[in-house]
Amino acid sequence: MKYISTRGEAPAKKFTEILLGGLAPDGGLYLPEKYPQVTRAELDDWRNLSYADLAFAVLSKFMTDIPAADLKQIVHRTYASGNYRNGRADSDIQQIVPLRTLEPGLHILELSNGPTLSFKDMAMQLLGNLFEYVLEKQGEELNILGATSGDTGSAAEYAMRGKRGIRVFMLSPYGKMSAFQRAQMYSLQDPNIFNIAIRGVFDDAQDLVKGVSNDHEFKARYKIGTVNSINWARVSAQIVYYFKGYFAATQSSDESVAFSVPSGNFGNICAGHIARMMGLPIGQLILATNENDVLDEFFRTGVYVPRAANRTYHTSSPSMDISKASNFERFIFDLVGRDATTVCELWTKVDAGGAFDIKGMPCWHDLPGFCFASGKSSHLDRMKIIREIWQNFGVMVDTHTADGIKVGLEQRRPNLPLICLETALPAKFEESIIEALGRNPERPAGLECIEKLPQRVELMDANLEMLKAYISAHAMTY
């Protein structure tokens, strides 16, 4: 399996050659030269596999330059039940990602039983083990640079803490995450973890990561890698739970389902898009945004208008407070028939602070064939959904998952089972749960007073040169 850039100016590379780097040298994102196809026989064979065995089956199609025995060991070490015990006591933890049925045809795929209570753990735990494996094979070390709107940062830091030869520099928007999310990250005292709070919004932090990545001399000198969802390994790991959710919600591979996905940076639903392209019977991919509805606007109108930081709303589903979705470029690459020239033309406008409109392009007529629907949710909407799900089913959901349920119920096609992807446990967004339900969410053991732990964080302006100077002063050098 070889990987190519969405912008067409980078040489094709193997999986282990793109694992550590993130962005391609031409500024594009890596994708497989072609998506591997899954046969009906494979779907039938995979239906009753454990999560670890399913992950090995799926990832073997993408990570072909890692010996099968090594990959199997990495995957089984990652998806062991002991790594996913921080969730609800009534979950079937042995399944890693249990499917909770609220009523016939309406399900929640529980993805938040990992160490940081977020779906990001599903990919990040694997990424940490893959990084360590490849770095050891190559005799190298790595400085990881990432940006987070809430959950990516803690998932990355918990996956990388204590890992030999790895340092993590994680940017987050100052004052824009929940107190629990801040505490999860900033309370870590591991010497290889560096938290940097950026005065601005997530998009400012994400732009800084891209700015460093596009400085090829600096990136090479300090061996800068990335764990954001621009890293292909994360997207490929997320593909696995779409297969698991499908198998849990269906009886045979003749059935189709709808997935509803809370969406900010387009990484999670991009994995669902790829699963569908591989042959998983997904009849509908429902993209749910909050008030930052740039992606919903695109799927409704064909116009993609990323918003400036001062036009990005701070909401009660803060991990989706994103107005420039990095992974969206991967989908557009497929939508325009993998024409890298067109992608370059469109992203030249985006990178210059502009927008693009596909209504006059042939791909506008191809868009329905990709089975997307979309919608948005407001603060009042998510409060209402949290109350209704609690009152009707005795299940507590977080604000982001509530966005997904709200839009999923509105947009799903009749008679199509709906699987809503869980984003995080309610404990991470306590203030909103108290507002909706008048009670505190339960916290897993050991996290009851996490906000009171000492915190270590560097406050910084959204300035590329300041960030580079900080990395220079604290990174491992070569």
Active site residue 120: yes
CB atoms within 10 A of CB 43: 19
Give pLDDT, residue 477: 56
Q: Measuring CA to CA, which residue among 428, 322, 425, 411 is closest to residue 374?
A: 411
Instruction: Give the number of C-alpha atoms closer than 13 A to the C-alpha of residue 243, restricted to the C-beta side.
Output: 31
How far CA 366 is from CA of 336, 351, 360, 459, in Å, comes to 9, 25, 12, 45
Cα separation, 325 vs 329, in Å, equals 8
For residue 398, give the DSSP letter.
-
**Extended strands (E) in 177-269:** 193-199, 224-226, 257-262
User: Mind listing the domains of the chain with CATH numbers?
Assistant: 93-117+238-437 (3.40.50.1100)
For residue 62, give the DSSP letter.
T
Q: Please report which helix (H) or strand (E) contains residue 101, including its range.
A: strand 99-103
Give pLDDT, residue 94: 56
Query: pLDDT per position in the chain (478 positions), as tens?
Result: 999 999 999 999 999 999 987 789 999 999 999 999 999 999 999 999 999 999 999 999 999 999 999 999 999 999 998 888 654 444 444 578 999 999 999 999 999 999 899 999 999 999 999 999 999 998 889 999 999 887 888 999 999 998 888 999 999 999 998 889 899 999 999 999 999 999 999 889 989 998 998 898 998 899 998 887 889 999 999 999 999 999 999 999 999 999 999 999 999 999 999 999 999 999 999 999 999 999 999 999 999 999 988 899 999 998 899 999 989 999 999 999 999 999 999 999 998 999 999 999 999 999 999 999 999 999 999 999 999 999 999 999 999 999 999 999 999 999 999 999 999 999 999 999 999 999 999 888 788 889 999 999 999 999 999 999 999 999 865 4
Q: Are 158 and 429 in contact (CB under 8 A)?
A: no
Which amino acid belongs to residue 53?
D
Orientation angle between helical segments 51-59 and 232-249, nearest 10 degrees: 130
For residue 44, give the DSSP letter.
H
Orientation angle between helical segments 202-213 and 464-474, nearest 10 degrees: 70
Which pTM value belongs to this model?
A: 0.92
User: Residue holding tokens 């949290």?
Assistant: 386
Q: Measuring CA to CA, which residue among 163, 237, 268 is closest to residue 15?
A: 237
Length of the chain: 478
Cα separation, 278 vs 62, in Å, equals 11
> Which tokens in the block code for residue 148?
């987070």
Give pLDDT, residue 50: 93
**Beta-sheet pairing, 142-147 with 166-173:** parallel
Residue among 13, 34, 120, 406 flagged as catalytic: 120
Q: Are 237 and 126 in contact (CB under 8 A)?
A: yes
How far CA 87 is from CA of 105, 169, 277, 388, 398, in Å, comes to 24, 27, 31, 22, 13
Cα separation, 108 vs 99, in Å, equals 6
Q: Are 176 and 198 in contact (CB under 8 A)?
A: no
Cα separation, 258 vs 331, in Å, equals 18
Give pLDDT, residue 460: 97
Q: Please report which helix (H) or strand (E) contains residue 287, including its range.
A: strand 282-289
